Structure formats: C-alpha cells, structure tokens
Structure 1
Amino acid sequence: MIYQGDGITVKERDDGLAELTFDLKGESVNKFNQATLQELKEVTTELASSKVKGLLVTSAKEGFIVGADITEFLGWFDQEEEQIVADILDANAIFSAFEDLPFPTVVAINGICLGGGFEMALACDYRVMSKTAKVGLPEVKLGIYPGFGGTVRLSRVTGADNAIEWIASGSEKSADQAFKDGAVDAVSELEAVNEDAYQLLKKITSGELEYEQKRAEKKAKLKLSPIESMMAFETAKGFVAAKAGKHYPSPVEAIKSMQKHANFERDKAIAVEAKGFAKMAKTPVAKNLIGLFLNDQKIKRIAKHHTKDAPEVNQAAVLGAGIMGGGIAYQSAYKGTPILMKDINEDGIQLGLKEASKLLVKAVERGKIDTAKMAETLCKIRPALSYGEFENVDVCVEAVVENPAVKKSVLAEAEQQLKEGAVLASNTSTISITELATALQKPENFCGMHFFNPVHRMPLVEVIRGEKTSDRTVAAVVSYAQKMGKTPIVVNDCPGFLVNRILFPYFGGFAALLNDGVDFERIDKLMEKFGWPMGPAYLMDVVGIDTGIHAQKVMAAGFPDRMTHGYKTAMDVMFEQQRFGQKNGKGFYQYSVDKKGKPKKETDSEAHALVRQVAQNSVEVSDQDIVNRLMIPMCLETVRCLEDGIVASPAEADLGLIYGLGFPPFLGGALKYIDDTGISEFVDLCKQFEHLGALYQPTEKLLEMSETNSTFYAQ
C-alpha cells in the first residue's frame, strides 16, 4: 500500500503501475470535501517522488465522484472575494500538480461523475467511461460555474463550442455524447471499465500510445484564431443570455471566462477562471440556489424518515381516467409501477390512454426513450371499467371531479374493493382530507396525494395527512411518490393545503389590483420580468378559471377574514362569460394552436373590456407597488402555514412553492425572500399596505421576529 486515507487509497499494481481509488468512508458517494482535497494533495506529493510509472484512477463506489461537498459552500462563500480566489487557487494547485505527475494517468469513470469529479477526470491524461455513466459540469445550476479548472481543461479537450454547451447548460452527458464530443477517450461495459482503463494504461507505459503531447495540448492556449474566437464566444453569449435570463448570470459569465482565458496557458487561464468563480460565488443567486439544493437534500432525508417502515407498493390504481388520471397513470408506469386506470365509461378510458400515449410519443420524439420502452410502459397501464383486479392494489389514487359528494361516493365504493391494508389517496387540490375521510370505514388508511398539472413535468406531490391518517399510510404514499420520480412533501390538512393556500392570497392581491384599474397584461409582463414563469392572469388561464372559482370558494370559506372578496372580481366575470382559459381557448387571453400543437397566447380586446367593467377605481400604481401587492400576501400566507403547523419547516415550505408553483428559484422561496429583504424591512413594507386588508397584516410572531432580529434560516 502506497497511501491509506479516509477518502483515498493508493496501491501497487504490476509492472510499476499503481491504482488510486476514491472511497470516502462513512458516505454512500464520493465527493470532494476539504479533507479529501487535502488527501489528494498528500497523495500527489508522494507519487511525484515515487518510482511509479503509471497511475490508474478508480472508484470503489457505484458512482465515481458526484462533485464538491456543497454543504461546505455557504460558509466558504461567506468569505471576502479575495479569500475565495486564494482558496480556489490552492485547490487548483492540487489538480494541476496531479496533472503534472511525471507519468501517465488514466481514469475509469464507472458511474456518476459531475462537477469537481469530472474536473478530476479532466486532469487525467486519458478517460475511459462506462456505458451507464453520466458526466458533466452542472455548477451553473447552483449560480456558479466550474472552479477546479473545468472551463480551462474542457474547452481545450472538446473545443470551445462543445465546452460552452456543456458548461452553460449544466446538463449531464451520456457516454455516447461524451465520446462524440471528445470529452472521453473510450467507452466500456460497466463491468469491464476498470480493466479496460488498466490495459490502456499499460499500452501508454509500453510506448504504444503517447500521452505527453496530449497533455501539452490540454495545458496550452485554446486553438482558435481571433475571428474564430469572436464567432464562438460572442454568438454563444447572446444565445445563452436570452435563454438563461437576467436573473441567472453564471452561464454567460462562464462563457466570458472562457473567452478571457482562451489565449492563456493553463496556470494563467485558471487564475482567470478563479476570479470569475469568486465573483459568482458572492452573488445572492448563488447563495439562494445553493440553499435550495441543501433544502432539497433535507427534504430527501425527511422523506427517508417517513418511509423507513413503508409497505411495498408493487401495484397501483387510479380512479378517473381523464387528463389528470392519464398523467398519473403515465408517470407511474413510466417509472416502473404497474397501474390500473379505472373509469365509469369507455370515453374516459380512451381519454386517459390518449393522454398517456401522447406523453410517450413526445418522449420518443425527444429521444428520451425508444419504442420498446414506450410499448413496455403502455403495457403497465391496464384500463378497467370495473373493480375486477383491485384486490391486488397497494395504493389507489382517486382523481375524479373536484366535488366533495362525488369524491366521497367514489372513495367509499373503492374502499370496499381494496385488500386489507391497502392505501387510498385523493388527488384533491383543496377539499379537506379529514372531511373526505368521514365517508370511509378505515380513515387511517386514507390521505391526500395532490399532484400538480402537468403531472409529468411538475416535481412536487403534496402528501396530506388528515386527522386520522396513520403513519403507515403516509409512508406508503411518500414511498410511491418517490418511485414515481416526484418530491413528496408531507403537510397537514387545511383548505388548499400548502401550495394552493399560499397561491390564493397572491390571486387576491391580483384581483385587488384589477379592481383598482391596473392593466392585467402590464401585471403579467412585470411579474415575468420579476422572475415568475408566467404572470397571474396567464397562470389563471392555465389553471382554468372554472377550477379557480371553485377553489376560491373553498379558500374563502376556510379563511373568510382575508380570502373573501367584497366585490365582483375579474375572475367572476370571466367565469360568467364562460371564459375558462386555455381549456376552451379564451380567458384573460385568447388561445390558438401553434405548429407544435401547443396553445399560443394572444391579446384579447374583449377580455380587457370585461375587466374594465368590474374595475371600481382608477389608481396610479408603480411597478414596485404592483410587485409588493402580489408578493406580500403570498409571503405572509407562507409564514402563517409555518406558524399553523401545516408545513414543518421553512425548507419544505419554500421548496414546495418552487416545485409546485414555479416561485422564482433564484429568490430561494417566500421565507428566504423575507429573510433577504430583512424581517424588519418586510414588516415595514406590510404596514405600508395594511389599509388594503387582512392579506397585508403581519402575524404577531413575525412582529416578534422583527423585534428580535430573527430569521427563518440560520445565518
């Protein structure tokens, strides 16, 4: 044994060769924390003065290295920018010293190899990748960009165009794509990847293959003429800026960094990268996106706690085969859990099957799956007009119309057909789970399982615990949601649960703005500029104004002090005119179908005329006041949900809004938005608008937090 550490070991192989293995003790994955970086420094120093003739780099875990240890980032990034630059250059000195070892290095990439892990692989002379592995540099998703030499080495290895696409998109790449782009040198079967890499190393050390020229090119200037450089980088900056948007600067900054260091050799180029990296690390965007990543990890740990005694879910069922039922059936089958899709008539069955087939065809067209996978998935969806096979169902999801009487009837009927211990769940968006459970003989086996539309795209599932819901039921549904590839958040029962309860005060603020005569298209454009994927009027059209009217009544009954409108709203008049939104082609906007079959939004003068009819005032409202009048009610309702115990933690509340509503991720969530505004400053802002009603009145606890300088997240 040449070296033995907690994250790295080095042992002798035949013919003067050695093998360095990453295997971080006490962790399920390898990652670059400070301790592992220090071990790599020690190993490199020892190897540089050894008699080793060649080095194989492997992993003892299923993946190679998932990246840097993100839990260390926030503390590290709290330092001054100059200290971050110094620290990142110290880390880079380790990678560069490894790259400069006086013998060839070959890495066997056996599994996930991302961020700092892939930067480690790029520091090796040759890369052999298993067919099932994934590689990439996803740092832009955290508001930063590669800082361990990734922008420098990848651009030299693959060329500028490929490096720009890899880094600016942050996407994971398959072995075929990585080989095609020149990022890896060979692709092997998983079980052979280490041996193939070792045999390649032997060929290099025997002189059959060279490595010094290959290494020299990687450390040299980028091979681009001034005109080629301008074409590559300037074109990319414009395209990426338009796609990323102004709130996410790191993809464009990564391109600027590559452009700046294109004419420098490795060490000067890395200094350029380090300076730009530190600049991004100090942005609020990076802080919030890293916080979201850590929140996501926390929620995964919470889900693991919920599911520690979860029963197996091998067979599912969905009641109601419409668009929603078809989406649930598709997602379940696509992720491997067979599902019965029951409806009361053949038309409903066909609608559900059509929805599932449409999604599968699109997946084939995008190259995500092949026709064999499509056929396999469809075979996992079994349509049914009766309860004939329901004795084998483990979890049954009711997805019929949003009507308490209908839901109770369907749930009571289904309960009689399920086996002992089977779990029943309702995909309701607003109706009390405790109330629905009154129709059941075993309410302990019942909970809410609220999917968001469209099911295949929206990552969140709210798992709603009623008064009598058992832990076993919650465990089963959380486990099933995870098997479906979703992020489940467990919440307690109340009107609207978590996400819709928080959404409707936002809509309430919107209704009041329209009542004051503010143009809804102006509001939409402003909120989209602020960072929302769509403004409130457009969102209402997508949700469905008829659906919104129903939900509004539920919310008003539950929270009359702040969710009852004392006037006829624009949504009311749209509903009266049967303008339901995208579902029937007209709402606040009118909709036509584009070439891809998607609804295309267009201005509708009739809608504007209808809204003007119900406007009672004509008030001049500034852009900032529009933002405040929409954001304050949403943020305050999030605070109330936390105080009322509807959601257990700020992390779950904020991630629920981001995954369920599209709350701007760069802001970190509603509670993080309050923290970043400053609790006292936010309370002062609320007081400016208190004359508008209870939606704008801060809670007693928030006032106390203002007095004590508390925050929702530990600083």
Structure 2
Amino acid sequence: MIYEGKSLNVTLLPNGIAELVFDAHGSVNKFDRQTVSELDEATQAIKSQSDVKGVLVRSNKSTFIVGADITEFTGLFDMAEEEVLTWVAKTSQVFDRFEDLPFPTISAINGFALGGGCEMTLACDLRVADTTAAIGLPEVKLGLMPGFGGTVRLPRLIGADNALEWMTTGRDRKAAKALAEGAVDAVVAPEKLRDAALSMLQDAIDGKFGWEARRAQKKAPLKLNKNESMMSFSTAKAMVFAQAGKHYPAPHAMVDTVANASRLDRDGALALENQGFTKLAKSDAAKAQVGIFLADQLVKSKGKKQAKASTKDVKSTAVLGAGIMGGGIAYQSAVKGTPVIMKDINQGALDLGLNEAAKILGKGMSRGKVTPALMASTLNSIVPTLEYSAIKDVDLVIEAVVENPKVKGIVLKETEQHVADDAVICSNTSTISINQLAKSLDKPERFCGMHFFNPVHKMPLVEIIRGEKTTDATIATVVAATLKMGKTPIVVNDCPGFLVNRVLFPYFAGFSKLVMDGADFVAVDKVMEKIFGWPMGPAYLLDVVGMDTADHASSVMADGIPERMQKIDNDPVTLLYKSERLGQKNGKGFYNFSLDKRGRPAKVAADEAYALFAPHCADKRDFDADEIIARVMIPMANEAIRCLEEGIVGSAAEADMALLYGLGFPPFRGGVFRYIETMGLANFVALADKYADLGPIYQISDGVREMAASGKSYFSQSA
C-alpha cells in the first residue's frame, strides 16, 4: 500500500502501475476538503516511489466522483475574498501537482464524473469511460465556474467552442458523445473498464501513446489565431447573453476567462480561473443558486423520508373532474406508469380531458421526446368513465372539480361512499380550506389537499395540505404517490390559500394598489420581468391565471384572512372580471391576445383596460424600478414570513422551493427568504416601514423585527 486515507487509497500493482482508488465513506465520492488534502498526500507518496511507471485513477463506487461537496460552500462564501482566492488557488494546485507526475496517468470513468470529478479526469493524460458514464462541468447551475482547472484543460482538450458549450450550459455528456467530442479516448462495457484502462496505460508506458505531447497541449496556450479567437469568443458571448441574460454572471465570466486565458500557459490561465471563481463565489447569484441546491436537497430528503414511511402502495388512481386540470393530472399519473380512471358527469368533459393528455403527448412526439409506444401506453392507461362504480378499487382519488366548496363537498361525500375503506382521498383545491372540505367526510383522517399547478405536466410542485385530522399515514401515502408521478411534494398545513397562493395574492394586491396609484401595468410588468426576473409580470400572470379564477380566489382569501386581505374597492382585477375580460382564456384582459402574421401568440396592452381603470385610478405617473419592486414584493415577503412563523410551512428552504417550483420565482434570487436575507433583514424592515402606511400587507410582524434586531437568519433556523 503506497497510501491509505479515509476517502482514497493507492496500491502498487505488480507491473509498476499505481492504482489510485476513490472510496469515500457514504454512497458517493465527493471532493470535500479532506479528499482534496488526501489526493495531494497520495500524489506526493506516488511521486516518491521510484518503481511507479504510471497511475490508474478509478472509483470503488457505482459512480466516479459527483463533484465538490457543496455543503462546504456556504462557509466558503462567508470567507473574505482574499481567503477564497487563496483556498481555490491551493486546491487547483493539487490537481496541477497530480498532472505533473513524471509518468502517464489515466482515469477509468464510471457513472457520474461531474464538476471536480470531471476536472480530476482532465488532470489525467488519458481517459476511458464505460457506457454508464456521464461527464460534465455543471458549476454554472450553482452560479459558479469550474475552479480546479476545468476552464483551462477542457478548451485545450476539445476546443474552446465545445468547452464553452459544456461549461455555459452545465449539461453533461454521455460516454459516446464525450468520445465524439474528444473528451475521452475510449468507451467500453462496464465489466471491461478497469482492464481497458490498464491496457491503455500500459501502451502509454511502452511508448505507444504520445502522452507527453497530450500533456504539453493542456499546459500550452490555445491554438487559435487572432481571427479564430475573435470569431469564437464573440460568438460565444452573443450566445450566452441570448440564453442567460444579464442576471446570471457565471456563464459570462466563463467566456471572458477562457478568452483572456487563451494566449497564456497553464499557470497564467489558472490564475485567471482562480480570480473568476472567487469573484463569482462572492456574488449574490452564487449564494442564491447554491442555496436553491441545498434547499432542493432538503425538500427531496424530507420527501423520501416521508414516502419511506408509507405502508400503502398506490397502484391505481382516480381523477374526478376531467377538464384541463383533471386531464393534466390523469396524464401525469399514466405517463409515470400508474393507471388512472378519469371520471366526470358528462362525456364532453371526458373528451376534453383525454384531448389534453393527447395534446401533451403529441407535442412530445413532435419534439422527438415521446415515442409512439409511450403515447399508446399512456393513453391506454387512462380510462374515462361516467360512473362512480368504476373507482371502487382505486388506491388514491384526486378530486379536481370546479373550485367551489359546496360542489367539492358534494363530490367528496359521494366519492367516500364508492371507494374502499382504505382508499386515500385528496382535493386538488388551490385555496379552499382542507378542514372545511373534510367536514363532508366520515373519515377525514384519510383526506388531505393535493394542489397541482397548471400546466400540470410542466410545473414540478405539488402542495400536500395537511388538515387537522389528516393522519401521518395519509400524508406518507400521498407524498409517495406524488414522487411516483415525478413531482416534488412539499407538505404544508391548512390555511386559506395554503402557502403558494397565500403569498401570491398579497403580491397581486400590491400590484393593484400600484395601478390605482397611477402606475402603468405595462411598465410594472417590464420592471418585474426584466429587472426583478419573474418569467411574467403581475398583469401578464393575472391574464394567464384568468380574472375569474383570480377574483374568486381573492374572495376566498378575503374571507379567510380579513385583517390583511380584504378585497380592494374597484380593484383592476375585479373591474376586468365584471367586464368579462378574463385574460388569455377569452383573449382579452390587461392585454389583448392574438396571433401574429407567423401564427405565433402575441399580446398588446389593451386600450380597453386603460379606459376601464381610468375613472378609478389616479392620474398616470412614472414610478422608479426600486419602488415598483418594493411595492409588489414586500407584501409577498411579509406573508411568507407569517406562513413560516405560523408553522404553515416547515422551513424557509421549503418556502423558497415552493415559490421557485410553483410560481417561477427568479432562481438567481434564490427564493423569497433568500431575497430578504440578501437584502439584509434590517434593510428589509426599514424598507417595509417606509411603505407601512399603505396598509396591513406592508406592515411587518414582530417576529421579523426581533430577528433583524438580534442578527438572526431564517436559514440557520431551518437547517
């Protein structure tokens, strides 16, 4: 044994090959600080052995190395900039020292080799992958860039254009594509991986491969003349700006770093990479995106733990109500392999539900993502019916009828009389109290909310709403079923609007007050989309939601939380609803919707909407972007804080993920709590106090005031 650590070990094989094996405690290999330190110690130990002729690097896990240990990043971001630069420089030099070993090296790649794992393979002279391998540099998804030499070695290995496409998108490559692009030298069956790597390494030792020339290429400037360099990097900059926009600095930094380093040798190029990584590590976008990753891990971990506690396997599902929503839910169940019965009271609705599923599948086929076999099996797994008798043996029922408590109550009561005693019953309500609906049932303990978002097949979130009498067993079953449907479950407690809609409607109220004070809704949308980063501004989002839906939901919220959410007199939303301007569903709302000359959807601000609002609003005036953002976001942030304080949601991390997955909260801001903390709690309190005279939705709770005064964090509480 040449070296033995906790995460890796090195043994000398009889032919003089040192075999460096990553084998950390736990299920996967990661580059945490300990592993990096051990790699450096192992490198020194190998170098000191006079009889070593080459090094094979492989993993003893089912996957190679999944990347850096991201849980260490939050501490990293808190360090001073100079300390971050020192850390990343020292770490990248560990990979340099491995690369500089005086004999050939090869990595045998199985499963994921991502981030630092990919950079480990790049530090080797040769790479062989098995057919399970997936190789890539996904740091951009965390608001970062590669920090262990990836921006230096990959462009010199596969060319700057290919390397920038890898790095700026963060997409990994399967083994065959990596081979075609030159990132690996061979692809073999998993059972042949080690032998193939040893054979290739022996050939290099014997002089059959010019490994020295390969290594020299990785350490030299890029082979681009002036024109090639200008064309390559200007094209890359334009593509990155078109795809990433201005809110995500990481892909822009990668292009600049590779461009500026193109005429430098390895050491000069690595110095620029170190600087670029450090700057990004201290950015708000990186903190937000790493926060999202960690919050997502928390949500997934909670979901898996809850699902594991389930004692009931959902083998069949029923959906009651076969409109757009019911059809979407039925599709989602069927496409993930759980047969579903779709029930309604009229054939037209059933046809609509089946057409919705067929339309989703048809679009997937046109894009090459759905096979004819999958389309057939999915549609065959959806059984339409007009009879309650068809649902008698299902394990899970999802009621998705009209958003009316009386209608839902009747349907739920009828449902309970026709299903098995152990069947779980859910309501896909967006705002109506689960405790109220539970009164319709003889067994409220087997009932909960299961709130899907529209369009179901695209929106990842499902809010699972626990009522007062809902059992843990019921929640576990529904969480397991949600995961089986390919969705992300977040469990919340019952209240008007639950979590997502409860925080959304104060945002809409802030918008309505702004319009009534003279703001142009088009200008508000532009600020909230282009500057804040929402996929849609509030007026556009209301048009998509539908004025009838929004007006009804705001009435439910007003009844449930009258102290803050009373309906506004002459609310623009209500004015549009009463004028039958329902938004996209009938082509007229804040905007008029049509098709342009090429048949693409188009929207223009509606003169009719301006005329409708004019008698009830102040004279038009311009508001600066900061005021627009404050006036719509403070109410949302305040209500999110109250949901956390009241125990509606379990943690700030879960709240952030719910808004990210349910509303499309801008990822570079990390969620509503991350947005508040990036601003600083004391600054948020001061900002909210500035607008407190606008009404209760702007007035902060005592809890956040106390947290700001004591310097506490919502994330240390929710860890």
1:35 is matched with which residue?
34
8 A Cα contact 2:448 2:465, kept in partner: yes
8 A Cα contact 1:582 1:599, kept in partner: no
Shift in Å, 1:14: 5.1
SS in 2 for 1:318: strand
2:541 is matched with which residue?
539
2:313 is matched with which residue?
312
Shift in Å, 1:344: 3.1
Give the partner amino acid of 1:42: E
Distance 2:636 2:29 in 1: 40
2:122 is matched with which residue?
122
SS in 1 for 2:603: strand
Q: Does the alignment pair 1:363 with 2:364?
A: yes
2:347 is matched with which residue?
346
Give the partner amino acid of 1:577: S
Counterparts of 1:247-286 in structure 2 under 5 Å? 247-286=247-286
Shift in alpha-carbon separation, 1:704–1:325, aligned structure 2, 3 A: same
Structure 1, 390-399 or 93-102: larger mean CA deviation: 390-399
Shift in Å, 1:145: 0.6
Q: Which string of whole-angstrom CA distances, capped at 9 and with x for unpartnered residues, describes residues 690-711 of structure 1? A: 2211111111222322333333
8 A Cα contact 1:321 1:348, kept in partner: yes
Counterparts of 1:196-595 in structure 2 under 5 Å? 196-310=196-310, 311-387=312-388, 390-528=391-529, 529-593=531-595
Give the partner amino acid of 1:47: I
1:610 is matched with which residue?
612
Q: Which string of whole-angstrom CA distances, capped at 9 and with x for unpartnered residues, describes residues 439-478 of structure 1? A: 1121111111111112222221111001110001111111
Shift in Å, 1:413: 2.5
Distance 1:466 1:493 in 2: 6
SS in 1 for 2:210: coil
Distance 2:399 2:190 in 1: 42
SS in 2 for 1:307: helix
Give the partner amino acid of 2:44: T
Distance 1:416 1:125 in 2: 69
SS in 2 for 1:468: coil
Shift in alpha-carbon separation, 1:511–1:414, aligned structure 2, 3 A: same
2:690 is matched with which residue?
688
Counterparts of 1:39-50 in structure 2 under 5 Å? 39-50=38-49
Shift in alpha-carbon separation, 1:117–1:375, aligned structure 2, 3 A: farther
Give the partner amino acid of 1:590: N
Distance 2:336 2:266 in 1: 44
SS in 2 for 1:344: coil
SS in 2 for 1:421: coil
Q: Does the alignment pair 1:65 with 2:65?
A: yes
8 A Cα contact 1:237 1:252, kept in partner: yes
Counterparts of 1:101-116 in structure 2 under 5 Å? 101-116=101-116
Structure 1, unaligned stretches of length 5 or more? none
Structure 1, 7-16 or 451-460: larger mean CA deviation: 7-16
Distance 1:176 1:596 in 2: 38
8 A Cα contact 1:130 1:188, kept in partner: yes
SS in 2 for 1:61: coil
Shift in Å, 1:429: 0.5
Shift in Å, 1:179: 2.4
Distance 1:443 1:405 in 2: 17
Distance 1:169 1:258 in 2: 15
8 A Cα contact 2:554 2:567, kept in partner: no
| Count of residues in correspondence between the two structures | 714
Distance 1:547 1:507 in 2: 13
Shift in alpha-carbon separation, 1:706–1:208, aligned structure 2, 3 A: closer
Distance 2:672 2:92 in 1: 37
Shift in Å, 1:21: 2.0
Q: Which string of whole-angstrom CA distances, capped at 9 and with x for unpartnered residues, describes residues 296-323 of structure 1? A: 2222222233223113233333222222
Shift in alpha-carbon separation, 1:38–1:542, aligned structure 2, 3 A: same
Distance 1:118 1:553 in 2: 54
Give RMSD over aligned pairs: 2.2
Structure 1, 602-611 or 689-698: larger mean CA deviation: 602-611
1:672 is matched with which residue?
674
Distance 1:387 1:132 in 2: 47
TM-score, scaled relative to structure 1: 0.95
8 A Cα contact 2:179 2:187, kept in partner: yes
TM-score, scaled relative to structure 2: 0.95
SS in 2 for 1:135: strand
Shift in Å, 1:389: 5.1
2:643 is matched with which residue?
641
SS in 2 for 1:15: coil
Shift in Å, 1:38: 1.0
Counterparts of 1:86-235 in structure 2 under 5 Å? 86-235=86-235
Distance 1:383 1:125 in 2: 60
8 A Cα contact 1:143 1:286, kept in partner: yes
State percent identity of aligned pairs.
Answer: 54
Q: Which string of whole-angstrom CA distances, capped at 9 and with x for unpartnered residues, describes residues 170-211 of structure 1? A: 122223332232222223334443443334334434444432
SS in 2 for 1:425: strand
Shift in Å, 1:248: 0.9
| Match for residue 627 of structure 2 among 600, 625, 628 | 625
Shift in alpha-carbon separation, 1:272–1:393, aligned structure 2, 3 A: same
SS in 1 for 2:318: strand
Shift in alpha-carbon separation, 1:106–1:363, aligned structure 2, 3 A: farther
Shift in alpha-carbon separation, 1:380–1:159, aligned structure 2, 3 A: farther
